Structure 1
Amino acid sequence: MRMMKAPKQISLEPEKIEELIDRLEKKSLNEDDYPLLIELIKGMVWLNLSLKEKKLSIKRLRAVFGIKTETASKLLDFLEKNDPKQSDAKSSDPDGNPTEKKKKKKGGSGHRPASDYTEARIIKIAHETLKKGDLCPDCKQGKLFNLSPGTVLQIVGAPHLQVEIYKPERLRCSLCGKTFTARLPQEIMNGTRGDRTAKAIVSLMKYRGGLPFYRQEQMQNILGNPITASELWKMTADLADQLLEIYAEMCHQAAQGKLLHNDDTTARILSIAKERKEKLGTESEEKRTGTFTTGIISILENSQAEIALFFTGRQHAGENMNDLLDLRNQNLPPPLQQCDGGHNIPKDHETDVSNCLAHARRKFYELADNHPKEVLKIIGWFAKIFANDKEGPPEEDARLKWHQEKSTPIMNQIKAYCKQLIETKQVEPNSSMGKAITYLTNQWEGLTLFLKKPGVPLTNNKDERLLKRAVLNRKNAYFYKTEKGANIGDILMSTIETCVLNKVNPWNYLLAIQEHQDKIQKNPKLYLPWNYQKHLKQEEPSHSQSCPPQPHGSSK
C-alpha cells in the first residue's frame, strides 16, 4: 500500500470519546458519529503505515492530534480547550503577575512601496504640452517648475525562458558555386545554446524557487518553447563550473569566520544508494546508511559579511565543519559555534560551542499535554529571555551586559525550578519531562554561553532557515541522481543564499560572474557577492547591472 496523506486534525476530548465508545457498545450510533469514526480509522491506518516507513515523529503526531505550531499563544489556546482551568494562564505571566492581552495587528493591502522595487525599469512620462519654465496656462503670470513625479506601478510578465532562432542568409554564386553565409553575432558563435541570462534564471528557479527541471520542462512545453530537463541541467552545470573559484574562495573565507552556525538535514543521492545496495552483505559494506545536506553560515569578523555554504554527501555536519576548519588560519582563536550539539561538533578543531535555546525550549513544549502547569512556567521564562534579546542594544559588548543583567536571573530560575521538580519527585528522571530536564542540565554551559561571551546568538534559527532551501528542493525534486549533481546544487545554492544574506541581487551577480570570468580567474577574492560591485565600479557599467538584458535582436 502506498503512503497515504496525514488525516485531518482529530479532536480527542475524553468525554466525547467515552460517549462514542458507549454508543458503539450499545449499537446506537448517531449520524454525527460516522465522520469521526472515518477520521479515527484513517488516523490509525496512517499511524501504522508511518511506523512501518519510519517516518513518524512527535511533530507529525501533534499536527494530527494536537497543534501545528510552537507559538505560546497556540499552546495556551490548545491547553484551554482541553482544560478550562488553564484559561487563567492567559492573563498572567509565569510568576503569576497579571498581563494585558495584546491586540493583533490587522494586515495591510499587500502592496509594497515603490522604493522596494530596486530593479524596476523607470519610465519617465513628459507632460503632453507643458515643460519647465513655461508660463502657467491658468494665471498667465507664474512660471512652471518641477515637483517630484507621481508613481504608478505596472507589473508585466513573460515566459522565463524564450527561444531565438537565427537564420543567417546564405548566397551562392551561379557560376563558380561558392557559398557566402551571413556572420552570426560573436556571442552566438562562441557561446552555448543557453546564454548567461538563461543559465541564471534556470538556476534561480531550481535552487532558490524549488522548481525541479521536469516541471520547468513541462512549463516550457506548454508555452511553445520546449526545452528538455537534461538541457536545463546542463545550463546549471555550466554555471556551477564558472562559480568553482568563487565557491572555493567562499569556503576559505568562511573558515576564518568569528561565528559559525551549522546543522544538517537528510538528503538522497541515487548513485550512493545504488552503491550501498551492491555492497550489502559484503565486507566493504558501509556502516553509515544515510546521506545528508549540511548548512553552514559563517559571519566574518571585519567585513560583517555572511557566507552560506551547503555540503551534500555521506558526511554529517560535524565532519563537514571539521573539513572547513582545516582551512582556518592557525593564528586565529577558536570560533564561536552555534548548533544543537551531537553530530554537529568538529572532531579535530576546538570551538566555543553555544547550544540553541529554541531547541531546549522545544523539548519542553512537546510535553505540554502531560505537564501543562510546569511547561507553561518554563515556556514563559524562555519567552522573557527572547524578549530581552529582541529589546537589547545592537552592540555586542553592550548586549552581553544587557543579558547578564536581565537574562541571568531568568536562566537560573529555569534551572532551579527544573532541579526542584526532580528533587521533590514531581517528575521522574526517566520520564519524557525528566529527559528534557536532563538535556537542559547537560547542555547548560552551551545554553548559557550568551551570558559569558559577546556576539553569541541565542538560537540556531538562522541556519534552520537556510536548510529550508535544501528541504524545499528535496520535497520537490526528491533526490540527486549523482554526487556530481549534488555538488552542482551545493555550489549554486551556496552562491545564491550568500547573495541573499548580504542583500545582493543574485540575478545581477550571476550575470556579472559569467561576464567577467577572465577577472575572476585571476583573483576570485575581489568578486565575492558582498564586494564585487566595488571592484567593477571603475569599469563601464554593464547592461546586466542596470536592468535585465533584452533578448538578442530585440529593441527597447
Structure 2
Amino acid sequence: MARELPLEHHCPWREEAEELRERLTSLEARVEKLTRSVFGKKSEKLPPVEEELRRNAPADTEQAAAAALKRRRERAEVKKALPSRTVLHPVPEELRRCPRCQGTDFTPLGPGRASVLYEYVPGYFEKQVHVRQTLLCACAEGVITAEGPPRVAEKTGYGPGLIAQLVTAKCADSMPLYRLEKSLARDGVPVARSTLTDLFHRAATELAPITECLLARVAEQEVVQGDETPMKVQAPEKTRTGYLWTFLAEEDTTQDALIAYCFSPTRAGTTPAEVLGGTQGALVVDAYTGYNRVTTPEGRTRVGCWAHVRRRFFEALPNPAAQEALRLILALYRVEAAVKEAGLTRTATHLALRQAQSAAAPEALHAWLEQNKPLHPPRGPLGGAIAYALSQWDALTRFIEDVRLPLDNNAPCVREDVASADVPS
C-alpha cells in the first residue's frame, strides 16, 4: 500500500514532478490562448475598453438617447456636404390621364415632390493622350517642343492619381496588392502585380521627405506612444516575419494625432533608437526591452501601458481570480472616460481626479498582486500576468502625477489591422 510522504520531504523526483506540473500548466495556457484566438467566439476575445465601460455603466436611458441623437445629427451634417444632383422624373405620356374626368390637359403643380436618395457613382479610369506641341522657327532651323505631363518617374506610363489611389487602397484600406490587381482589372485597367509593387515602392521613394519630416515632428513631442506589430512579409524564398513599428504623438489635443509607421525586418531596438534617440520626454510602451536604448536616464522616461497588463489578465481568465484584477484596471479607464466626456482632459481637474480616484485602484491592485503572487506558478497565465505587472509597476503608475500621460498606447485612431495587407520585400 502506497504511503503518503510528508510535506517537508524533498527528493529529486518530487522536484522534477513539480517542475513538470508547472510546465504543463504553462503549455495548457498557451494552447488555450491559441485556441481562443483562432477558433474562439467574438465574446471570448479581448473586448475594447469602451465596450467594457458601457457594459458596466449604470443604465441611463435619457443619456443614451441624447448620445444617439447627437450621432444622428453629426451624420446628417456630413451628408449635407455631399455634392447634390437633381434628377427630374416626368410623368410618362401613357399615364397623363385624369382619374376623375379622363382629361389629358395638365399643367405643373408646384416644383414637384422631392425625395432624397444616397447613391454611389463608381469612379473610372481614362487613357490620356498627351500631345506636345512642336513649333518650327521662321528660320527653319530652330524647333521647340512643349513640356509633357508630370510623371512620378521617367518612362512611367501611370499617372500620379492612379499611384495615389494604389497607396491609399493598400495603406488606408488595408487592401493587398493581389486584390487591388483584381479590382483594377474589373475597372478595365489590367495591371500586373509586379508593376503595382514597383509603383508602390516608387511612391515610397518620392514621399521619403514627407516621412522624414513626420518622424522628426513625432520625435519633437514630449509624450510619444510606441508599439510594434509582427507581420508576414513576402520574400523570394519564403514568407518571413517583419515588424511594423508605430510611433504616435499629439502636438495639440484639438488636432489629429501624428502617426508614423516604420517597417523593419527585425524586432531589434535599432528602430526606436533611430526615431527617438537623443530626445527627451516620455515614452508610453510595454515591457519589451527593445525600447531600452531610448528609455535611459539621459533620454525618455518609460511609462507603462495598462492595455498590455489588461490583456495578460484577460488571457488568464480561466482562473476566476483574474477577474478582480480586470475590475480594478477598468476603474482607471472609467475615470478617464468621465474626464473625456466632460471635456476636462489635461486640466487641473483631470489631475485632481487622477490623484483622488485613479490612485486608489493601483494601490488596491498592488496589494492584490503581492497577495496572490505566491499562490500561482510563475509560468502559468495568472502568475505570468502578476509578475509582468509587478515588474512594470513604477512605469505603470507614472500617469497619476502627469495628465499628459495616457493610460496606454492604444490610441483609437491606430488600428491593429493597419498591417494586414501584404508587404512586398
Output the TM-score relative to the length of structure 1: 0.53
* Alpha-carbon offset, residue 322 of structure 1: 0.8
- Residue 92 of structure 2 is matched in structure 1 by none
Q: SS of the residue aligned with 1:402?
A: helix
Q: SS of the residue aligned with 2:269?
A: helix
Establish whether residue 115 from structure 1 lines up as the match of residue 77 from structure 2.
yes
- Residue 380 of structure 1 is matched in structure 2 by 327
CA distance in 1, matches of 2:146, 2:178: 32
> How does 1:63-462 map onto structure 2 within 5 Å?
63=37, 64=39, 67-71=43-47, 113-117=75-79, 120-123=82-85, 152-159=116-123, 162-164=125-127, 166=129, 186-187=148-149, 192-271=156-235, 291-300=242-251, 306-316=257-267, 318-326=269-277, 328=279, 334-347=280-293, 349=296, 350-369=299-318, 371-372=319-320, 374-392=321-339, 393-422=344-373, 426-428=375-377, 431-462=380-411
Flag structure 1 segments of 5+ consecutive residues without an equivalent: 1-50, 77-90, 94-98, 127-149, 171-182, 278-288, 329-333, 482-556
Q: Which amino acid aligns with 1:187?
A: P
CA distance in 1, matches of 2:302, 2:262: 21
Q: SS of the residue aligned with 1:121?
A: coil
CA distance in 2, matches of 1:225, 1:314: 33
Q: Which amino acid aligns with 2:386?
A: I
Q: SS of the residue aligned with 2:173?
A: coil
Q: Is the 8 A contact 2:227 2:285 kept in 1?
A: yes
- 1:357-380: CA deviation from partner (whole Å, max 9, x where unpaired): 1211222222222x21x2222222
- 1:321-376: CA deviation from partner (whole Å, max 9, x where unpaired): 11112364xxxxx221111121341415522111111211222222222x21x222
* Alpha-carbon offset, residue 196 of structure 1: 2.4
CA distance in 1, matches of 2:224, 2:372: 35
Of the structure 1 ranges 59-68 and 434-443, higher mean CA displacement relative to structure 2 is found in: 59-68
Q: CA RMSD in A?
A: 4.3
Give the 3 Å change call, closer, same or farther, for CA 421–450 of structure 1 in structure 2. Answer: same
Give the 3 Å change call, closer, same or farther, for CA 455–273 of structure 1 in structure 2. Answer: farther
* Alpha-carbon offset, residue 435 of structure 1: 2.5
Q: Is the 8 A contact 1:252 1:327 kept in 2?
A: no
CA distance in 2, matches of 1:408, 1:464: 27
Give the 3 Å change call, closer, same or farther, for CA 453–273 of structure 1 in structure 2. Answer: farther
Q: SS of the residue aligned with 2:293?
A: coil
- 1:173-221: CA deviation from partner (whole Å, max 9, x where unpaired): xxxxxxxxxx999427998432222121121111111222222222232
Q: SS of the residue aligned with 1:341?
A: coil
CA distance in 1, matches of 2:220, 2:416: 22
Give the 3 Å change call, closer, same or farther, for CA 72–120 of structure 1 in structure 2. Answer: closer
* Alpha-carbon offset, residue 463 of structure 1: 8.3
Give the 3 Å change call, closer, same or farther, for CA 118–226 of structure 1 in structure 2. Answer: farther
Q: SS of the residue aligned with 1:291?
A: strand
Q: Which amino acid aligns with 1:480?
A: P
Q: SS of the residue aligned with 1:264?
A: strand
- 1:387-437: CA deviation from partner (whole Å, max 9, x where unpaired): 011112212443222111001111101111222234xx5445554322222
Q: Which amino acid aligns with 2:330?
A: A
Establish whether residue 480 from structure 1 lines up as the match of residue 418 from structure 2.
no
Give the 3 Å change call, closer, same or farther, for CA 253–123 of structure 1 in structure 2. Answer: same
